[in-house]
Structure 1
Amino acid sequence: MIPMLDRLDRSRTDVVLIVDDVPDNLSLLHDALDEAGYTVLVATHGEAALQRASQSVPDIILLDALMPGMDGFEVARRLKAQPETSHIPIVFMTGLTETEHVVAAFDAGGVDYVTKPIRPREVLARIVSHMASARQARQARNALDAFGHASMTVRLSDGRVMWQTPLARKLLQQYFETPETVAPDELVAWLRQVTPSALADMATGKPPPSWLVQQGGRRLSFALHEPTGDDNWLLVMRETSDEAAIEALTQELKLTAREGEVLYWVVKGKTNRDIGDILGTSPATVKKQLEHVFAKLGVETRTAAAGLAMSRVGQLKMR
């Protein structure tokens, strides 16, 4: 039994957590999964399942629906409420086939269910299918993070964050004082305002609605992407800053560092005197640097320089 995440070699094997209070079921599934090449973790009750999932973050969970004490439905709800485990696919194992129990399994966050007595080959087939879907979703989220676009899903009815990428979690913590599982009140209010017409607008080619938060020289934008369920919406977040925009200007337009700073503040609508105060120099020096910028860009006015900068550097559009 391998309890800690840092002891699991995920480059070679996927990790499956089996939760069942019946030893025979655990043994049957453990042997079948182990033989198929998976790393297998086990838990025999709800509390142990929550602890093991939090520590090891398995790739998929096989969860018994009915157990003494905390049942599988409650375990699933708690796992889905925690950002670090909310993305894990849960396949329920149950002897109950009545509609109400099947519905309860999906309501609790399950992606599928298998009925007892357990048939290992069926379970393996379900695991392969759901693991592939989960891996694609994880790769997509990681790709967004890698390009500076964090993502998250928010449930409108209660403002709960259903899942989020690591970068999204970090940005929310930096900009807002809210629990990890709760979206900021002002963000939820904006979502409730724009979502009724968002789908129709986007279907006609209009850009998705966006919301911007500013913190000093840093800005965090939220773009509405698409619904992921009846009440859930996917948001893509992106952070920009004065420093990042200046660097982008400097590189894109082949300016010196100081010329990039001057042009950036021109784009922001500042006068030469304002820019001199910001940069700790004289208005005359700013004027001379701006003349160099005009010559390099092939323009003659501040307005033309600002327009060219905004057309070439996307970050400047988030003002």
Structure 2
Amino acid sequence: MPCTDTMPCELLVVDDSTDARSLLTEELGALGYRVHGVSSGREALEHLSIHLPEAILLDILMPGLDGFETCTRIREQSEETPVIFMTGLGETEHIVKGFASGGNDYVTKPIVLAEVVARIQAHTRTASLVRTTRDAINASSAAMLAFDADGALLWINDAAAQLLPTSEGNALPFHRAPSSLLALHTSEDRSAHFEHAGHLFEAQRISDVQDSVVVVSLQAQARRPADWRPPQLTAREGEVLMWVARGKTNRDIADILGMSPRTVNKHLEHIFEKMGVETRTAAADAARKMNLA
């Protein structure tokens, strides 16, 4: 839950200074927060292995594991728990290093209590929203996944993980999005088709095309045996007709079957002639009546 004035949460304070740690623990405790204090990065990691607080206040300069290394280790246990650095260092390189190690924010010493509380509330509210969104996506029956501009798979919900086959020994179906999926990052088209492990899938982009992260929903597509075709059509013409009957455009069919839209159009000309029709609508209607869709 986010930390609020009416619903304080549990905090972990990590500072090797007994006086600073005790003062902050006492002041936050007086506001109703449940505060646990530790004196080193190693103690912090031991505490986190047993219990995860809503937010962590972390000193930078400590003997042994400093704040940067401690934060890096924290991120191995939790990606979402807000980490707010406490530092007397105002140099840009320390601030940049803090964010690079996984920190969410920083406050400078001497600590101003009101500022600390405001930052705790802001970051725990965001973390709570992230958790709620993630849980909702994971619980959804709709298969969804997300990848970045480089095609790296960022997350995949349970429904998508069950839908997409994985090779032996791999937890994920793929680590990099197939090229047809990656094209959704810049294309105005909201759908794409791709093959994976011998299966055909359709992806619908549900994020904005300008976003650096692309979120898509997935649906498995039925595929006829390779030798399927209406009696008078070639195997390729039969595949083209099947997708026409499913409402796909020439460009969609070209992407699915790995050919140019011009080649699709030539196949359609042959299909029209063999089936005695003049339009793709008539061909699609005939295919559906023949139960070919």
TM-score normalized by the length of structure 1: 0.55
Query: What residue is the counterpart of 1:48 in the other structure?
Result: 43
Aligned mates of 1:169, 1:194 — CA distance in 2: 14
Please, which of 64, 69, 87 is the counterpart of residue 64 of structure 2?
69
Q: Do the aligned residues in 1 keep the contact of 2:147 with 2:177 (CA within 8 Å)?
A: no
Pick the structure with greater CA Rg. 2
Please, which of 57, 68, 89 is the counterpart of residue 52 of structure 2?
57
Q: Do the aligned residues in 2 keep the contact of 1:224 with 1:233 (CA within 8 Å)?
A: no
The answer to whether structure 1 residue 199 and structure 2 residue 185 are counterparts is yes
Q: Do the aligned residues in 2 keep the contact of 1:148 with 1:238 (CA within 8 Å)?
A: no
Residue 76 (structure 1) shift: 1.3
* Cα root mean square deviation, aligned: 4.3
Q: Do the aligned residues in 1 keep the contact of 2:151 with 2:177 (CA within 8 Å)?
A: no
Residue 151 (structure 1) shift: 6.6
Residue pairs, 1:125-140, within 5 angstroms? 125-140=118-133
Aligned mates of 2:104, 2:88 — CA distance in 1: 17
Aligned mates of 2:146, 2:117 — CA distance in 1: 29
Query: What residue is the counterpart of 1:144 in the other structure?
Result: 137
Residue pairs, 1:27-176, within 5 angstroms? 27-82=22-77, 85-149=78-142, 167=158, 175=166
Change (3 A) 1:72 1:234: farther
Q: Do the aligned residues in 2 keep the contact of 1:225 with 1:235 (CA within 8 Å)?
A: yes
Residue 157 (structure 1) shift: 7.5
Q: What secondary structure does 2:50 align onto?
A: helix
Aligned length in residues? 226
Residue 233 (structure 1) shift: 3.8
Aligned mates of 1:305, 1:13 — CA distance in 2: 66
Query: What residue is the counterpart of 2:228 in the other structure?
Result: none
Change (3 A) 1:305 1:188: same
Gaps in structure 1 of 5+ consecutive residues: 1-11, 242-266, 271-299, 311-319
Q: Do the aligned residues in 2 keep the contact of 1:214 with 1:220 (CA within 8 Å)?
A: no
Residue 60 (structure 1) shift: 1.4
Aligned mates of 1:220, 1:56 — CA distance in 2: 41
Q: What secondary structure does 1:127 align onto?
A: helix
Change (3 A) 1:198 1:234: closer
Residue 29 (structure 1) shift: 1.8
Change (3 A) 1:99 1:131: same
Change (3 A) 1:211 1:26: farther
Change (3 A) 1:20 1:237: farther
Change (3 A) 1:35 1:268: same
TM-score normalized by the length of structure 2: 0.59
Percent of residue pairs bearing the same amino acid type: 32
Please, which of 6, 9, 13 is the counterpart of residue 14 of structure 1?
9
Residue 106 (structure 1) shift: 0.9
Q: Do the aligned residues in 1 keep the contact of 2:12 with 2:56 (CA within 8 Å)?
A: yes
Cα shift readout 1:181-236 (whole Å, capped 9, x = no counterpart): xx66x332637x854x43321xx3x22557665699xx998876659xx9x74656
Change (3 A) 1:86 1:152: farther
Aligned mates of 1:303, 1:104 — CA distance in 2: 62
Q: Do the aligned residues in 2 keep the contact of 1:60 with 1:89 (CA within 8 Å)?
A: yes
Instruction: Spell out structure 1 runs of 4+ moving beyond 4 A.
Output: 149-161, 167-172, 208-216, 219-227, 234-241, 267-270, 304-307
Residue pairs, 1:166-315, within 5 angstroms? 167=158, 175=166, 177-178=169-170, 186-188=174-176, 190=178, 194-195=181-182, 197-201=183-187, 204=188, 206-207=189-190, 213=196, 233=213, 235=215, 269=224, 303=288
Query: What residue is the counterpart of 2:255 in the other structure?
Result: none
Q: What secondary structure does 1:41 align onto?
A: strand
Aligned mates of 1:222, 1:79 — CA distance in 2: 35
Q: What secondary structure does 2:94 align onto?
A: helix
Q: What secondary structure does 2:16 align onto?
A: coil
Gaps in structure 2 of 5+ consecutive residues: 1-6, 226-284
Residue 51 (structure 1) shift: 2.3
Cα shift readout 1:61-86 (whole Å, capped 9, x = no counterpart): 1111111111111111122234xx11
